[in-house]
Amino acid sequence: MTLRLPAPRRLAPLLVPLLALGAVALAADPRPAAAQAPGGPPPAVGVVTVEPRPVTESAEFIGRVAAVDRVQLTARVTAFLEQRLFIEGTEVQAGDLLYRLERGPFEAAVQQAAGTVGQMSAQLDNANITLARAQSLLGTPAGQRSVVDDAVANQRSLSAQLLTAQALLRQAQINLAYTEIHAPVAGKISRTLITNGNVVSPSSGPLATIVSQDPMYVLFPISERSNLELERKFFDKGGLGAVTVHLRLADGTQYDQPGHIDYVDPTVAQNTDTVLMRAKIANPALRPPKPGEPVARRLTDGEFVTVTVEGLEPIMALAVPRVAVLSDQQGSYVWVVDAQNKVEQRRITLGQSTPTVGVVMSGLKAGERVISEGVQRARPGIEVSPGPATPLPQVGGPAGAGAGSGGAGGAGGTQAKP
């Protein structure tokens, strides 16, 4: 059996597609000509010098706003509800009269108890006179010890009865006062749950609820690990008194009022390994309140917020432009230019950063030069022509510029802020 090879002229059509594919591959090489041409000038890049800069230590958590005071208004006596004296959904002040119950039966009870007190007082006065007369006759032939003893017993019995009558009068006066329900705290009042004309009693349930508005609490759980990190960071700076709390609302806007931590739960939750912290924060009215109208405020009881815990005093940390930080499957890295203008790839560890500034926790030293402009022209080992790049923005300042990780455990670290 004989094998027959194709003729040379038949190979020519096969070579044409191969040559075309090779030309396309050369044209698609993404490396710039400056990195490929051995005899060309070094590519120009912009570098910044790594140096310590003031940054703010921070950590982010998910929290919930809670009212400082929450009071459910209930009836203390059984009576008809006669009047509701507030506008639902508005804010009331402590001491404002909110409900008025039927007063007639309770006023009659007060008068009856007052009459009993008067009667007992008169009888006690007579008993005191009788006792004094019996004691004065005791040293005479007409006096008898038994008469004195009876007078003393009667006087003491009437004294006790007067105390009882006075207690009943006081109780009747208290019940009469319960026919007017006043606001025990200031805050926003809910809708009324029982309308006029109904009989209310202590078992009727709440009539309405008052929720205080200013200040507010923010409750947020943090992991025990994060709690220990916060204690370690701020132990020498005054503890929790050295931190401030800022909020980011559900729509992403930053709340402009700072807060301070005022309570830490003494127990770690066993099911979540978290500790509950509480911060107090102001919640002022957005515009001057008008009588009878709802008051607009930014924080609402029960809403979710993002809580940022920050140190009051910034610390010094190394920072680089965020555009200088690249990443691959192994993590983050930057291009460093050495004294001979040679490029070196350097692995780094980032802390909490902003879209413009990256805080370097490890991998760089002060004084090193990092490429922040023209990073696409950098290759390990090539020589470049470095020049000054756009300087870093100023770091440090109000909360809200940084990005951190949320959740019940939160994330701690340093955070640069332009």
Who wins on pLDDT, 317 or 341?
A: 341
51 phi and psi angles, rounded to 5 deg: -150, 155
Point out which residues pair with 223 in neighbouring strands: 274
Average pLDDT rounded to a whole number, residues 278-283? 94
**pLDDT tops 70 at residue 25:** no
Contacts of 312 (CB under 8 A, 6+ apart): 237, 242, 243, 244
Q: What pLDDT, on a 0 to 100 scale, did the predictor assign at position 15?
A: 41
pLDDT over 90, % of the chain: 42
- Residue 217's Cβ-side half-sphere holds a number of Cα atoms within 13 Å equal to 16
Residue 54's pLDDT band (boundaries 50, 70, 90)?
A: confident
Q: What pLDDT, on a 0 to 100 scale, did the predictor assign at position 160?
A: 94
Model pLDDT for residues 173-190, shown as the tens digit of each residue:
999 999 999 999 999 999
Which pTM was predicted?
0.65
Out of 204-213, 235-244, 286-295, which region has the weakest mean confidence (pLDDT)?
A: 235-244
Average pLDDT over all residues of the chain? 81
Average pLDDT rounded to a whole number, residues 47-67? 84
Q: What pLDDT, on a 0 to 100 scale, did the predictor assign at position 86?
A: 93
Average pLDDT rounded to a whole number, residues 132-158? 81
Who wins on pLDDT, 401 or 346?
A: 346
Out of 239-253, 384-398, 400-414, which region has the weakest mean confidence (pLDDT)?
A: 400-414
Residue 102's pLDDT band (boundaries 50, 70, 90)?
A: very high
Who wins on pLDDT, 135 or 43?
A: 43
Point out which residues pair with 41 in neighbouring strands: none
Model pLDDT for residues 150-167, shown as the tens digit of each residue:
888 988 999 999 999 999
**pLDDT tops 80 at residue 396:** no
CA distance 282 to 213: 9
Q: What pLDDT, on a 0 to 100 scale, did the predictor assign at position 238?
A: 67
Q: What pLDDT, on a 0 to 100 scale, did the predictor assign at position 227?
A: 81
Alpha carbon separation from 220 to 252, 331, 413 (Å, rounded) = 18, 31, 18
Model pLDDT for residues 287-329, shown as the tens digit of each residue:
888 887 888 999 999 999 999 887 656 677 788 888 889 988 8
**187 within 8 A of 91, measured Cβ to Cβ:** yes
